[in-house]
Amino acid sequence: MTISTTAKTTALSKAFGPILMMVVLGSSLMFVAGHAQSAALHDAAHDVRHATGFPCH
């Protein structure tokens, strides 16, 4: 029984790393795009800004 519990824990910990990295990357991209002052970034992220509640006007 110990082997199967260890295997499940290991599989969960292996899956948690990439999920955490994607959450951090996605949050970082949203923060950068939401607070960008460049007109090109503003235009590219305009709809996303409004959908997530970032004021841009």
The pLDDT of residue 35: 73
Domains of the chain, residue spans:
18-52
Instruction: Output the pLDDT for position 57.
Output: 65
Query: pLDDT tens across 1-57, in order?
Result: 556 555 566 776 778 889 999 999 988 887 876 676 777 776 666 777 777 776 766
Radius of gyration of the chain (CA): 19
The confidence score (pLDDT) of residue 29 equals: 82
C-alpha span between 19 and 42 (Å, rounded): 28
| Predicted pLDDT of residue 21 | 93
Give the per-residue pLDDT at 22: 92
* Predicted pLDDT of residue 23: 92
DSSP code per residue over the chain: -HHHHHHHHHHHHHHHHHHHHHHHHHHHHHHHHHT---HHHHHHHHHHHHHHT----
